[in-house]
Chain A
Amino acid sequence: MNPFVFSGASNLTNEQILTLFIHDHNYSRFIQSKRNFFFWGERGAGKTMTLLYNKLVMQKEVKDSISHNSPIEYIPVYVSCITPLVFKREYLLLGSEFQASVVSEHYLALSMALALIDALIEIPEIIERIDQSELRLELDYLLDSKLPGADNVLKSIKLFLRKQFIQTQQKINSPESDSFYRDTYTFSSLLMPLMDIFRSMKMMHDLHFIFMMDDAHDLNASQRGALNSWIAYRDNSSFSFKVSAAKVSDYSLATTSGGAILHGHDYISINMEQDFQNLDSSYGKMAKKIISKRLDLAGFPEDFDSSDFFPVSKSLEKDIAKCKEKARILAIEKYGNSDSKKINDFVYKHGRAIYFRERSPKANRVQYSGMETIIHLSSGVIRNLLEPCYVMYDDMISETGSPDKIDKIKPSIQAEVIKRLSDRFWERLRDGIDKELPDCSVKQAEQVSCLFHALADLFRNRLLDPNCSEPRAIAFTISAKTDKLMSELKPILNLARSAQLLYIRSGTAKDGGAKEDYYVPNRMLWPARGLDPVGQHARVSIQASKLVGAIHTGKIEYLPQHNQMDPSGNTIQADMFNG
């Protein structure tokens, strides 16, 4: 098996999740709490894996509590929102919006109830400790139905809930357009009494249910409104929500009553995508651990260094070292020998830039390789990290004929795979992302393409300009915004985000230290354009009007004279004038 398999976490077994998960980046402090949290992250950022891992950890804690006769503190309830149920649209045929929202909430409440019962069934020690006949009586009363016979009352209620799903869909799918299911459930009529019943039982008086709502962006508008309303409940003693979602532009935080849930008040936000500048950043460390763990599973010794598995091309390493030395000499000429901070800073900013700058235009492509490069190319998204590794490993099997003969991925294969994957990004742009994204027009796809071509040229001009103060900056912020400009620009940026061509991050602004959003194009774009995907801790400030111009013309004017440094090394002009 290819150790870098990157199938969705929901397709993994419990054992695989426990084995593959990187324990020290687990968010447990947030998940195992009574507060509501939103975990934001694009696909592949590790949201599902994090929730499922914490579910398993909490389940173990429940078992431990039961074995020690201690009260159970938390029950994790994992609810996947990406089931085909959320794509059902018969509600659009109903005459009233109210009926439509009732049916939508019914599906969601039933899904959560089923997940809750499954969560209890998954811990067999629970059923062994409860009075089943008493529980059956209470449930019969609550559901106004005699639960189907089964030895295990939890399995009985599961059968009941599944039957509810089937009956609802049979009724809704009956040929008459206005067919409506009347016996619907809500959070208040099903989930809350159900939780109360369990909380009235021995060892469960202080029980708190943690609903892990995974991929909540897939819920329909009514369901999202309902979920937000439940999040807005003030009393979090018996339940809370840990919601994972892609922070798409249209994720509404409105409740059904017309209000909105507030960050800090009703919930806390966690951004699961991380930017990083070096291997010692938290993402860099986690990425290395992920690769090491995968190699461990493939039979490599536990202390095997993943950098040895993905070695850097010798010539690249040598050439970059030479260029860093050149940068050091230049820095000493500028600042003298005594200010080591300034010298190191100059080498950091310009060492790699000199390598890219001084390459002959006729030279072969850069041999992009090495663990550091692969981690930077992932743009802070775990799936982006595993995919090239998966393909590289596959190519090595083709070359060697057997996985047993693989002790490293040759730099030439790394470079070839990176080139292929990078080319594919530009092919996608050339073909038009309207082919892959819903709600994207041909014109918008062309605008997205123009934007990235303009950014590539801008970043390349900066990289090649010896006077540029931040030559390897490959992220940008937007300055001089107006409502009019942003109304034109934002849809294009959002489409690029949906296509995972662009990521949004939050960082500290230069002036005043306030938080500001900045944009990171997927770094896998850059090898095909001869850029350095190993960026630097800097962002190019681009005026909104220039970006709007770029989506029409594919160009952002670069004015090198504004980026020159004075002899003391200070940038003469702020980058905001550039472009």
Chain B
Amino acid sequence: MAKFNYLITCAGWEDRFVDGLKSNIELHDIDKIIILRVNEFTEKTKNNVAKLGEFLGNDDFQEVEVSLLDDAKTWRILEALFGDLAISSQSLCIDITTMPRFLIWFIMHFSEYYKNNSKYVYFKPERYEKCNWLTSDTEEPRLVFKHSGIFLPDQPTILIIQTGFDIERVNQLIYSYEPAKVYLWAQTGKQYDNAIENINKHKEQLQYQEIEYFEIDAYRDDYGYASMERIILKTKDEYNIVLSSFGPKPASLAMFKLNKEYPEVGLSYVLVKNYNDCYSHGTDIENIIIVE
């Protein structure tokens, strides 16, 4: 049983939020729980948040409201949270399962700035449901504060995108950045109905001619770090590079590390205001992914 001063998680509407929280409490010795609640999703998450009372005392966790759209405000809230709690150098268990990617990256930023000893936890769902839509009401792509890369205007841009089922968001990135080339990483594995179907779907629908596809399993080994690094090393002297992740979330951890190693590479995300509730079901608590 590992000991953590804080568990930081994010309120979600999926089963994985409550199941993951229970599992974390059972498996680890945790002093305090911080639950981030995205105010734009309050309605969607309220049922799951209400369930917390069944196994947590009301005083056992601190709820912190953050904003999806006003990410500068969220940045300041997290900055204050890390500063006020004086959690400098303390140990954190960060459950990224239901956390939007920009929050994952913001927390990684502050965790690193405050020299926390952090572990990241991710729970896969038991199954994904085939939906005819995944997300809607999106915003323009945004570069992550402080991890936005170092670009030169006289260089062309390439995108390295970890894609999931969501083609529209990939399209949006291509539309916004007008890259010279896109490296599209398709997730392998059964849960994605195999990579070929996934890639074919993208090939059919992405009307862009300069796409190179590659396949990785984001749940294994280094979460895609080495494969992405190979592309970065090959291209970084001549191109501006932007990374973005829409597939399994452990890859976003690898992307953050790549930005740390190669600060010229920028991290980008697309905010989504509406998700399909039926996208995933259950929680695979047998195969928890823990990233140091």
List residues of chain A with CB under 8 Å of any chain B CB: 5-8, 10-11, 79-80, 82-85, 87-90, 92-93, 110-111, 114-115, 118, 162, 165-166, 169-170, 173-175, 177, 215, 387, 431-432, 434-442, 445
Beyond A431-B132, A431-B133, whether A83 also contacts B151 by CB under 8 A is: yes
Ranked nearest first, the 9 interchain pairs of A and B with the lowest CB-CB distance are A435-B168, A438-B140, A92-B72, A111-B153, A169-B150, A434-B136, A83-B153, A84-B151, A175-B113
Bound Cα distance from A114 to B151, whole angstroms: 13
The answer to whether A115 and B263 have CB atoms under 8 Å apart is no
Bound Cα distance from A80 to B154, whole angstroms: 9
Point out which of A88, A173, A442 has the most chain B C-beta atoms below 10 A from its C-beta. Answer: A173
**Chain B hits for A7, CB < 8 A:** 209-210
The answer to whether A88 and B148 have CB atoms under 8 Å apart is yes
**Chain A hits for B177, CB < 8 A:** 82, 84, 87
> Considering only CB atoms, which chain A residue lies closest to B155 in the complex?
A83
The answer to whether A173 and B152 have CB atoms under 8 Å apart is no
B222 within 8 A of A: no
The answer to whether B72 and A85 have CB atoms under 8 Å apart is no
B162 within 8 A of A: no
1/0 per residue, CB under 8 A from A, across B152-192: the answer is: 11101100000000001001100111101000000000000
1/0 per residue, CB under 8 A from A, across B265-286: the answer is: 0101010011000000000000
> Considering only CB atoms, which chain A residue lies closest to B210 in the complex?
A7
B84 within 8 A of A: no
Which residues 103-133 of B sit at the A interface, judged by CB distance below 8 A?
Answer: 109, 112-113, 132-133
CB of B159, distance to nearest CB on chain A (Å) = 10
**Chain B hits for A10, CB < 8 A:** 156, 178, 180
CB of A115, distance to nearest CB on chain B (Å) = 7
CB of A401, distance to nearest CB on chain B (Å) = 20
Bound Cα distance from A132 to B151, whole angstroms: 29
**Chain B hits for A432, CB < 8 A:** 133, 136
The answer to whether B75 and A88 have CB atoms under 8 Å apart is no
Bound Cα distance from A441 to B147, whole angstroms: 29
CB of B158, distance to nearest CB on chain A (Å) = 10
The answer to whether B240 and A89 have CB atoms under 8 Å apart is no
> Considering only CB atoms, which chain A residue lies closest to B109 in the complex?
A175
Beyond A90-B145, A438-B138, A439-B139, whether A177 also contacts B76 by CB under 8 A is: yes
Q: List 22 A-B contacts (CB under 8 A).
A: A7-B209, A8-B178, A83-B151, A84-B143, A84-B149, A84-B242, A84-B266, A85-B151, A85-B153, A89-B72, A90-B148, A111-B153, A114-B153, A118-B154, A170-B150, A173-B146, A173-B149, A175-B113, A436-B171, A436-B172, A438-B139, A441-B273
**Chain A hits for B141, CB < 8 A:** 87
> Considering only CB atoms, which chain A residue lies closest to B180 in the complex?
A11
CB of A2, distance to nearest CB on chain B (Å) = 9
The answer to whether A445 and B178 have CB atoms under 8 Å apart is no
**Chain A hits for B109, CB < 8 A:** 175
Bound Cα distance from A438 to B133, whole angstroms: 16
> Considering only CB atoms, which chain A residue lies closest to B209 in the complex?
A7
B79 within 8 A of A: yes
Beyond A85-B153, A169-B150, A438-B172, whether A387 also contacts B207 by CB under 8 A is: yes
* Size of interface on B: residues with Cβ below 8 Å to A: 49
**Chain A hits for B266, CB < 8 A:** 84
**Chain B hits for A174, CB < 8 A:** 146
Bound Cα distance from A432 to B139, whole angstroms: 15
**Chain A hits for B210, CB < 8 A:** 7, 11
CB of B150, distance to nearest CB on chain A (Å) = 4
> Considering only CB atoms, which chain A residue lies closest to B166 in the complex?
A435
**Chain A hits for B149, CB < 8 A:** 84, 169, 173
The answer to whether B157 and A84 have CB atoms under 8 Å apart is yes
Bound Cα distance from A227 to B138, whole angstroms: 29
The answer to whether B148 and A89 have CB atoms under 8 Å apart is yes
CB of B12, distance to nearest CB on chain A (Å) = 20
B32 within 8 A of A: no
The answer to whether A436 and B143 have CB atoms under 8 Å apart is no
The answer to whether B152 and A165 have CB atoms under 8 Å apart is yes
Bound Cα distance from A435 to B270, whole angstroms: 11
Bound Cα distance from A114 to B175, whole angstroms: 25
B5 within 8 A of A: no
**Chain A hits for B207, CB < 8 A:** 387
**Chain A hits for B112, CB < 8 A:** 175
> Considering only CB atoms, which chain A residue lies closest to B114 in the complex?
A175
B236 within 8 A of A: no
The answer to whether B150 and A89 have CB atoms under 8 Å apart is no
Known A90-B145, A114-B153, A439-B140; 6 more pairs at CB < 8 Å: A6-B209, A8-B178, A11-B156, A432-B133, A438-B138, A445-B136
**Chain A hits for B79, CB < 8 A:** 177
> Considering only CB atoms, which chain B residue lies closest to A177 in the complex?
B79
**Chain A hits for B152, CB < 8 A:** 114, 162, 165-166
- Among A169, A387, A441, the residue within 8 A (CB) of B151 is A169
CB of A93, distance to nearest CB on chain B (Å) = 6
Bound Cα distance from A438 to B268, whole angstroms: 15
The answer to whether A90 and B133 have CB atoms under 8 Å apart is no
Beyond A84-B143, A85-B151, A89-B148, whether A436 also contacts B72 by CB under 8 A is: no
CB of A167, distance to nearest CB on chain B (Å) = 10
**Chain A hits for B274, CB < 8 A:** 434, 442
Bound Cα distance from A473 to B3, whole angstroms: 73
The answer to whether B146 and A90 have CB atoms under 8 Å apart is yes
> Considering only CB atoms, which chain B residue lies closest to A441 in the complex?
B137
**Chain A hits for B150, CB < 8 A:** 165-166, 169-170, 173
The answer to whether A5 and B138 have CB atoms under 8 Å apart is no
**Chain B hits for A92, CB < 8 A:** 72, 145
> Considering only CB atoms, which chain A residue lies closest to B181 in the complex?
A11
- Among A93, A111, A175, A440, the residue within 8 A (CB) of B137 is A440
> Considering only CB atoms, which chain B residue lies closest to A88 in the complex?
B148
> Considering only CB atoms, which chain A residue lies closest to B113 in the complex?
A175
Point out which of A82, A431, A438 has the most chain B C-beta atoms below 10 A from its C-beta. Answer: A438
**Chain B hits for A387, CB < 8 A:** 207
Bound Cα distance from A11 to B156, whole angstroms: 9
CB of B183, distance to nearest CB on chain A (Å) = 15
Bound Cα distance from A82 to B157, whole angstroms: 10
**Chain A hits for B242, CB < 8 A:** 84
**Chain B hits for A5, CB < 8 A:** 209
CB of A81, distance to nearest CB on chain B (Å) = 9
Bound Cα distance from A11 to B79, whole angstroms: 41
The answer to whether B137 and A87 have CB atoms under 8 Å apart is no
B142 within 8 A of A: yes
> Considering only CB atoms, which chain A residue lies closest to B142 in the complex?
A89
CB of B102, distance to nearest CB on chain A (Å) = 11
Bound Cα distance from A438 to B210, whole angstroms: 23
**Chain B hits for A162, CB < 8 A:** 152, 154
**Chain B hits for A6, CB < 8 A:** 209
Bound Cα distance from A170 to B151, whole angstroms: 10
**Chain B hits for A111, CB < 8 A:** 153
Beyond A169-B150, A170-B263, A177-B75, whether A435 also contacts B145 by CB under 8 A is: no
**Chain A hits for B157, CB < 8 A:** 83-84
**Chain A hits for B209, CB < 8 A:** 5-7
Bound Cα distance from A83 to B153, whole angstroms: 6
Bound Cα distance from A79 to B154, whole angstroms: 9
Which residues 52-82 of B sit at the A interface, judged by CB distance below 8 A?
Answer: 72, 75-76, 79
> Considering only CB atoms, which chain B residue lies closest to A112 in the complex?
B153
